[in-house]
Structure 1
């Protein structure tokens, strides 16, 4: 059988002299704790600590990076175990696993291949390369391991070296899993919620009026009028802070932030509740509420993460059957400079305000984002993520933004994953790429070696803790 071979210098620069420097930096920081400040792991996983049942439901079905590429090569999502909206019959986990092994060639050169190989070899100690012939034996080997205590969620959390894990949570959530973890005397990890209010800020969102009513009940506020709506959002933010939250998370259709006057906002809010707001009014209100979220961050200190301009659920038929987050969100071009000017003119120099900007439009890195972070004390640059959390994009990001914003106006790395076992592999990839970038600065006599090594420590550990106020 073919074997997985993880080269110790993978992703490091090809030039031997630069690679040697990068390797030294990497050895210094490779075992630093993982700070996962932006992700999508369900906290129930750790609160309940129920053993994983099989490799397909752990490594394939929840990872839309994997399922979307299999779908791109003709595999129906129903055959990958994604939930049927029509109640159709589900495949067995073994059948799902076989599909991954039969299409292993489709992942050549992708970061998903890098992560999956690292998971198999470094997490499970399994070095058999997935192939159709090896699929069943590999499935059985992994299933046997998952039945042991060493591979339960909490044991893996400790083994991965995760110091803090931020989840992404609905504003109306009671945060029960977070509360149970915090109260558990046998648990000493740190898992914190993140306030994600998108569907409550945009009147164009499906079921917005119902969500606003739910928000009022959760906050015990009257959201039948605009002032009560704002009070409800503020109350829920305070509830999240009481449960450990340090950040909010926003993914609007664009970065627009023009504020409305109070009378304008009040009028549009009432029209939206009544179902009479125009599309233009809905957009204006959504942009106004982004500015309001910044105002609230100045008051309560929550770090504001912003990642606009992704067309969600591009294929309506897939969305209707399988729901959201099933691999067909597609990036759009985005403009930041004019769009964020109203917000930053109001709050960009406020001492308590902090905003981390992410994008999947890398054309904005050097033209807009780096200059914004290079002026505003409140603005930091989020790592390449989602479609751009690849070695090539990570290198391009550092080269694009460092000239203008430097290293220390970036926020380290975020894994942005729903695939629990991929967390260490994703962070390892970022550490290797950053060490290679820094080694090249030393080799070209731009940066002294001691400062490059300190920067490697900062990017890996100090910056995500500081920027996301996790210290």
Structure 2
């Protein structure tokens, strides 16, 4: 039986193998959208174990664990150890066969850890834990060390408009770091007026922008200030998570002020009002992006 994953994984013919191995593989990586932590890159974090680096912040793996019925304490709980969470993942991975997570998991073990010819699961987890932890104890497997192994030249992180971007500035000022780390603007919490935490979030945006937000134009002013801050820190990209596609003709500012006022007062908005506000914010943001 053929090995599950070799150096020719997904490469089905000679042309594909030549194009990848001869031309694509040696090229540097410019990753314009990632979920890496800028603080971990700035601090060149050293990870204690495989469970920590693998499961501490990967919401795709968390989702699979929850779908498999794993207790939340073994996913994000503070009361369980990294090893216990790791073993929960080891028991879950065989159930993900057919899902990209199964392939991603084995690719992550193959590169950079060099684990090949072994399927990850409860029977192999202990050996893999030991092998990977030995490598994580070396400088080549720090946050930056792994990126350098992968020939990463640039990454775009995912950042909220209220983020200070202090670690992006720290990285930019450090001549010893040869990887560009640029922020990306992710304003989901701004336009999702229907979410329970919207009002609390506006308070945080007010503090970050030093603008009191009671009208729609105040929101524009606050976002303009934060966009300026992001641009000054090297931001050139935006990223939006739009689970529900809403659209309505953009009303005038008086109507938008009324919608925002209702939400700030704790009143329930109609679906039309939610769509009007969402559309207004996204259209305005789109124009700002084009202008910049």
The answer to whether the superposition gives a TM-score over 0.5 is yes
Partner of 2:8: 9
Match of 2:41 among 46, 53, 72: 46
1:118-148 residue CA offsets vs partner (Å, 9 max, x unmatched) = 2212301233433433322321221121111
Give the conservation status (yes or no) of the 8 Å contact 1:4–1:121. no
SS of 2:239 mapped into structure 1 = strand
CA distance 1:11–1:293, shift in 2 (3 Å): same
**In the alignment, what sits opposite 1:322?**
none
Q: Tell me the distance in 2 between the aligned counterparts of 1:277 and 1:118.
A: 47
- 8 Å Cα contact 1:34-1:161 kept in structure 2: yes
Q: Residue 271 and residue 10 in structure 1: after superposition, are their counterparts in 2 closer, same or farther (change >3 A)? A: same
Q: 2:125 maps to which residue?
A: 135
TM-score (norm 1): 0.57
> What runs of 5+ residues in structure 2 fail to find an aligned partner?
none
1:64 aligns with 2:59: yes
Aligned to 1:259: 250
- Describe how 1:91-170 pairs up with structure 2 within 5 A: 91-127=80-116, 128-170=118-160
Query: Offset at 1:257?
Result: 5.6
Higher-RCO chain (CA-CA 8 Å, sequence separation at least 6): 1
Following the alignment from structure 1 to structure 2, what is the Cα–Cα distance between the partners of residues 201 and 113? 34
- What SS does the aligned partner of 1:144 have? helix
Write the mapping of 1:268-283 to structure 2, written as runs, cut at 5 A.
268-276=259-267, 278-279=269-270, 280-283=272-275
Instruction: Say which SS state the counterpart of residue 170 (structure 1) adopts.
Output: coil
Secondary structure at the residue paired with 1:250?
A: coil
The answer to whether 1:234 aligns with 2:224 is: yes
Q: How far is the alpha carbon of 1:73 from its aligned partner? A: 2.9
Matching of residues 16-415 of structure 1 within 5 Å: 19-27=13-21, 28-80=23-75, 82-83=76-77, 90-127=79-116, 128-252=118-242, 253-256=244-247, 258-276=249-267, 278-279=269-270, 280-300=272-292
Cα distance in 2 for residues equivalent to 1:6 and 1:76: 31
Gap runs ≥5 in structure 1 = 14-18, 84-88, 301-471
- Whether the 8 Å contact between 1:70 and 1:106 is mirrored in structure 2 is no
Q: Can you list the C-alpha shifts for 1:250-281, whole angstroms capped at 9, x where unaligned?
A: 22321426322233223322333233463232
Aligned counterparts of 2:65 and 2:260: Cα–Cα separation in 1 = 43
Pick closer, same or farther for the CA change 1:93–1:109 going to 2, 3 Å.
Answer: same
Q: Which moved more, 1:236-245 or 1:198-207?
A: 198-207
Cα distance in 2, alignment partners of residues 266 and 254 from structure 1: 22
How far 1:296 moved relative to its partner?
1.4
Matched positions, count: 287
Cα deviation, residue 59, structure 1: 1.7
What do residues 365-402 of structure 1 show as CA deviations (whole Å, max 9, x unaligned)? xxxxxxxxxxxxxxxxxxxxxxxxxxxxxxxxxxxxxx
Q: How far apart, in 2, do the equivalents of 1:156 and 1:257 lie? A: 46
- List per-residue Cα deviations over 1:206-242 (Å, max 9, x = no partner): 2322322322221122323322221111110110010
- Tell me how far apart the structure 2 counterparts of residues 106 and 5 of structure 1 sit (CA, whole Å): 16
- Residue 4 of structure 1 deviates from its aligned partner by 7.1
Asked if the contact 2:248–2:275 (Cα under 8 Å) also holds between the matched residues in 1, the reply is no
| Cα RMSD after superposing both structures | 2.2
Measured against aligned partners, the alpha-carbon deviations of 1:320-360 in whole angstroms (never above 9, x if no partner) come to xxxxxxxxxxxxxxxxxxxxxxxxxxxxxxxxxxxxxxxxx
Distance 2:188 2:89 in 1: 34
